[in-house]
Amino acid sequence: DITLKKAVENNFFVGVAVSATRTEISSYDEVYTREFSSITAENDMKMASIFTGIDGSGNIIYDWSKIDALIAYAETNNLNVHGHTLIWHRSLPQALENFNGTDQEFEDVIEQYITEVLTRYKGKINSWDVVNEAIDDDPSTQWRNTLFLQRMGEDYVEKCFAFARAADPDVKLFYNDYNMTFDAIKRGKVLAMADQLKTKNLIDGVGYQMHIDYNFPSRQEIQDATDELVAKNLLIHFAELDVKVNAANDLTEFTAERSLAQAQQVKEIVEIFNAIPQQLKYAITMWGLKDDDTWLIPENNGRPEWPLLFDESFQKKDAYQGFLQGL
């Protein structure tokens, strides 16, 4: 039988966001290993998940249990691992939120963190999102106002990439952000920053998150946004794909008609990605396996969603067939 990973014929990775807990459940394990060639931890490799404190000598205290479990899972099942994410303003350990040392001491902790994580997983994690969502949504503002900006200054992103490059010159370094396919101003800022980092040989790729809608952005917008990134000659990751069908809140259940429209959007995304020059295609990663696992639950999202390739019962949706048709 055809599977996603067979269908892409090793032209790029087909990824899925996972958790260490779910890899231990046989029904998830079966589909992860049958369909996918790469994993991203939905949360287990974020800073707040592994950085549990700072001891009296200024050394970071870690909980490696979940990340180690995922690495072992990937080794057993021959899966690529994309690391997500070293630095993100929404995943702050308590010890950094409450940090009362100097700015230099703060920066030293960040350098220690990046160095220790990359050194520990050298050769086991193929790529890392070094910084996630650092560019501001406001067109007139370059940097999002985060603790990292306040403590380390406007060159904090470059510093973090430099720490990562120094720790492991072989791991692929990515910058990752959202709204990249339709917010041309934000995208311009991201790509200009990536250009700067590339001049200094500090970056290898860019992730477009791709939390999108079934009817937005248009094919042309997504194509143009992809072409602009191709022109930068960096690896391309469609890093967190999910396709909302209920942004207008007009559905109380997933309909056959909307399902086909979603499949069409997935097909177009895959076609656009597949047409990227071979050497720049890194991965398409789905942000979850099945609809009832999505982060877009009513509590976060305000309404129900069905944004993934599999339904609650692990059955392939039309969107799954759309993925195959895009190849």
Contacting ligand XIL within 172-231 (CB under 6 A): 209
Q: Residue 105 Cβ, how far from ligand XIL at the closest point, in Å?
A: 27
Q: Using the rule CB under 6 A, is 132 a contact of ligand XIL?
A: yes
Return the residue of 43, 112, 223, 321 that touches ligand XIL, per CB under 6 A: 43
Q: Residue 98 Cβ, how far from ligand XIL at the closest point, in Å?
A: 21
Q: Using the rule CB under 6 A, is 321 a contact of ligand XIL?
A: no
Which residue's Cβ lies closest to ligand XIL? 295
Q: Using the rule CB under 6 A, is 42 a contact of ligand XIL?
A: yes
Is-catalytic flag, 111?
Answer: no
Can you tell me the distance from the alpha carbon of 245 to that of 66, in angstroms, rounded to the nearest whole number?
A: 32
Q: Which residue has the tokens 């509590």?
A: 299
Residue in 107, 133, 158, 305 annotated catalytic: 133
Residue type at position 188: G
Quick one: 197 or 296, whose CB is closer to ligand XIL?
Answer: 296
Decide: 221 and 181 in contact? Cβ < 8 Å.
yes
Q: How many residues bind ligand XIL (CB under 6 A)?
A: 6
The DSSP H or E segment spanning 249 is: none
Q: Residue 103 Cβ, how far from ligand XIL at the closest point, in Å?
A: 26
Closest among 167, 236, 222, 164 to 12, alpha carbons compared: 236
Is-catalytic flag, 158?
Answer: no
CA distances from 222 to 23, 212, 275, 302 (A): 32, 10, 12, 26
Closest among 115, 96, 85, 104 to 54, alpha carbons compared: 96
Contacting ligand XIL within 267-306 (CB under 6 A): 295
The SS3 assignment for 187 reads helix
Residue type at position 198: K
Residues that bind ligand XIL (CB under 6 A): 42-43, 132, 209, 240, 295
Residues with a known catalytic role: 133, 240
